[in-house]
């Protein structure tokens, strides 16, 4: 490449991060297209683009996916609400009081060690395979990161701030309201946000395990998998993944936005 | 021991593993000494007699022990009461005694150890493959800006999608045999390890690299003497997270699609309403998760001991 070409648009494109980032997915799509048109693999495994396009426009498929997403979200929000309520109470309580930490801490950490999906067989036995079971499961999943975030946040309140509160003669409640909570708020909000994404995938996992009959996008996908509708599986999984990624991206700036007052200090 | 656990919690990694990549390694060393253990030497130094500190320990330790025991004991009591009075039928809530008995039974009958062995062997395979690939990917992403620019963006999207979400799709492509499990375990291990390793390499102080350049170190020596030790704390954290994820992922796949292993034993026992076995399995899964984490933490602090001397 000579000197003048070094600044040509083509050269700039080749070195742009955006272009380079798009290359691997584009290559993958080309490979996929080649594989389906030349029938290197069974269409049951890798769906041709045309079929995928048809499935995406099929009102029946669209309806079942949309309905699934809505019902999963309904349970997600209920479970998440319960989970973060319990999680905040536990985490803040354990952070504030050493005694409470000694009472609840070991049990919490023991429960935390259990891989999350291992709770499902037990929960289905106790709460059936309906909504209740999934809500309880999502609540367990949601509580985990919140407890840890709130605990860490409260524990890492700077000692100087606590001292100022003490000098000002703050009551315990005032201390909590004006010193500890503002100081731990960023950690707590980050935990809440992490917990939402974690709960989303936990809700999906529960629906996968519990299976076809239970409603929700996860069971729609599992049902399609049993009927070898690879196109629907692909659409569903893409939708699930994209929702998770979008939540992640959408919420990422939230702590910075909420706590911009902190940087002014 | 348990109070030490309480003080040191790292936020769980759900995709954003990079965020907590760098825990202070010193914390691991400090955390192993529980509060009671820390107070002991001081008390012993003050009192000349042997029994006095012992008495003080008892007096001081008794309420502490009561605090630790309060919640687990009350749960046990409620459980025992609820199952003893048939408040709940025994196939919904087996009594603590029955669970313990079935634990001993499974242990002697060999059923559980067989399934457990299968699961642990799978974990070893998944972790081995995942560690090699994750380390390679992490080093490539961290050390080569060109590689980062081509592969990094796709990788960072993939990171946000837990392998569990992809299971139905992978089941169609890979079937439900060992290849599915191996794939999911490997991905679960590669993601945190590669993220954290790449971060660790990128965060090596540029002055070190400059020194290496001035000394005209060969590429191999540079990696061996500068890059690897510099990224070691991050890599150790990544290995620990990676192995933990392998275990969680394996349990998930086994619960969903498997014909053997502890996850399968659990779902099968659930189907025939042997909840005592299910409870034993839940406890074992937790215990193994804890042991893996604890063992790797110990290995990590031992491996990184040289950093303390600086």
What is the CB neighbour count within 10 angstroms for residue B140? 18
pLDDT the model gives residue B55: 62
Where exactly are the structural domains of chain A?
Answer: 4-36, 49-264
A198 at B interface, C-beta within 8 A:
yes
pLDDT the model gives residue B62: 67
What residues contact residue B48 under an 8 Å CB cut-off, 6+ apart? none
pLDDT the model gives residue A4: 52
Which stretches in chain B have pLDDT values below 50?
Answer: 1-48, 309-310
pLDDT the model gives residue B213: 87
* Residue B304 phi, psi (nearest 5): -100, 20
Residue from the list A102, A145, A151 with its beta carbon closest to the beta carbon of B68 = A102
Whole-angstrom distance, CA of residue B149 vs CA of residue A16: 9
Q: Which of B187, B176, B91 is nearest to B130 (CA)?
A: B187
Percent of chain A past pLDDT 90, that is, above it, reads 51
Which is more confidently placed, A212 or B273? B273
A13 at B interface, C-beta within 8 A:
no
Return the ∠ at Cα A67 (arms to A61 and A70), rounded to 5°: 140
A140 at B interface, C-beta within 8 A:
no
| Span A256-260, average pLDDT | 82
Return the ∠ at Cα A118 (arms to A240 and B1), rounded to 5°: 120
Which residue of chain A comes nearest to B65, CA vs CA?
A: A102
How many CA atoms within 13 Å lie on the side-chain side of A115? 29
Query: Are the CB atoms for A104 and B2 separated by under 8 Å?
Result: no
Query: Are the CB atoms for A138 and A202 separated by under 8 Å?
Result: yes
Residue range A168-196, pLDDT digits in tens: 999 888 999 999 999 999 899 999 999 99
B94 phi-psi bin (left φ>0, alpha ψ -120 to 50, beta other): beta
Residues of chain B with CATH 1.10.3720.10: 107-308
Q: Is A210 helix (H, G, I), strand (E, B) or coil?
A: helix
pLDDT the model gives residue A15: 82
Least confident of A161-165, A217-221, B198-202, B257-261: B257-261
Q: Which CATH class is domain B107-308?
A: mainly alpha
B47's tokens: 């009192």
Q: Which of B13, B10, B8, B9 is nearest to B194 (CA)?
A: B13
Whole-angstrom distance, CA of residue A157 vs CA of residue A161: 7
Residue range A109-159, pLDDT digits in tens: 888 888 889 999 999 989 988 889 999 999 999 999 999 999 999 999 999
| Span A4-16, average pLDDT | 75
Cα distance from B242 to chain A (closest Cα, Å)? 14
Cα distance from A224 to chain B (closest Cα, Å)? 9
What residues contact residue B227 under an 8 Å CB cut-off, 6+ apart? B139, B143, B201, B204
A113's tokens: 């060690």
CATH superfamily of A49-264: MetI-like (1.10.3720.10)
Q: What is the mean pLDDT of chain B?
A: 79
Query: Are the CB atoms for B235 and B303 separated by under 8 Å?
Result: no
């Amino acid at each position: 490449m000579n000197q003048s070409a070094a600044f040509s648009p083509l050269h700039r494109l080749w070195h742009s991060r955006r272009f380079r980032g798009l290359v691997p997915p584009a290559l993958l799509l080309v490979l996929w297209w080649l594989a389906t048109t030349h029938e290197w693999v069974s269409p049951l495994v890798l769906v041709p683009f045309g079929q995928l396009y048809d499935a995406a426009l099929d009102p029946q498929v669209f309806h079942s996916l949309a309905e699934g997403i809505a019902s999963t979200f309904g349970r997600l929000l209920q479970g998440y609400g319960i989970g973060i309520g319990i999680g905040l109470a536990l985490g803040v309580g354990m952070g504030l009081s050493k005694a409470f930490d000694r009472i609840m801490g070991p049990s919490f950490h023991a429960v935390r060690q259990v891989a999350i999906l291992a709770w499902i067989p037990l929960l289905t036995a106790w709460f059936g395979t309906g909504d209740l079971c999934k809500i309880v499961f999502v609540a367990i999943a949601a509580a985990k990161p919140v407890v840890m975030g709130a605990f860490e946040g409260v524990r890492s309140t700077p000692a100087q701030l606590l001292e100022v509160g003490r000098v000002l003669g703050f009551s315990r409640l005032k201390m909590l309201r004006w010193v500890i909570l503002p100081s731990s708020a960023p950690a707590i909000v980050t935990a809440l946000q992490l917990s939402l994404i974690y709960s989303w995938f936990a809700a999906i996992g529960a629906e996968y395990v519990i299976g076809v009959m239970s409603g929700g996008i996860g069971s729609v996908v599992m049902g399609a998998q049993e009927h070898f509708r690879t196109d629907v599986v692909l659409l569903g999984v893409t939708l699930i993944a994209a929702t998770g990624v979008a939540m992640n991206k959408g919420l990422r700036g939230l702590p910075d936005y909420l706590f911009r007052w902190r940087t002014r200090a | 021991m348990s109070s030490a656990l309480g003080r040191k919690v790292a936020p769980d990694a759900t995709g954003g593993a990079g965020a907590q990549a760098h825990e202070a390694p010193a914390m691991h060393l400090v955390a192993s000494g529980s509060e009671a253990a820390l107070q002991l030497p001081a008390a012993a130094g003050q009192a000349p007699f042997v029994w006095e500190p012992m008495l003080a320990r008892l007096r001081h330790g008794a309420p502490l022990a009561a605090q630790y025991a309060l919640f687990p004991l009350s749960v046990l009591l409620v459980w025992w009461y609820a199952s003893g009075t048939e408040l709940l039928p025994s196939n919904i809530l087996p009594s603590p005694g029955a669970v313990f008995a079935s634990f001993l039974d499974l242990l002697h009958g060999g059923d559980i150890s067989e399934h457990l062995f299968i699961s642990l062997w799978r974990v070893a395979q998944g972790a081995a493959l995942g560690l090699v690939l994750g380390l390679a990917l992490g080093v490539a992403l961290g050390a080569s800006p060109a590689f980062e620019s081509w592969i990094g963006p796709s990788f960072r999207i993939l990171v946000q999608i837990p392998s569990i979400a992809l299971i139905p799709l992978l089941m169609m492509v890979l079937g439900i045999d060992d290849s599915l499990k191996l794939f999911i375990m490997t991905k679960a291990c590669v993601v945190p390890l590669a993220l954290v390793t790449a971060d660790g390499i990128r965060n090596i102080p540029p002055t070190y690299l400059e020194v290496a350049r001035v000394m005209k170190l060969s590429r191999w020596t540079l990696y061996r003497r500068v890059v690897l030790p510099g990224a070691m704390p991050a890599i150790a954290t990544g290995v620990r997270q990676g192995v933990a994820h392998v275990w969680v992922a394996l349990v998930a796949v086994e619960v969903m699609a498997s014909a053997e292993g502890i996850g399968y034993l659990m779902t099968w026992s659930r189907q025939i309403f042997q909840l005592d076995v299910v409870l034993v399995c839940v406890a074992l899964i937790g215990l193994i998760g804890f042991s893996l984490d604890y063992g790797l933490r110990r290995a990590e602090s031992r491996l990184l001991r040289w950093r303390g001397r600086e």
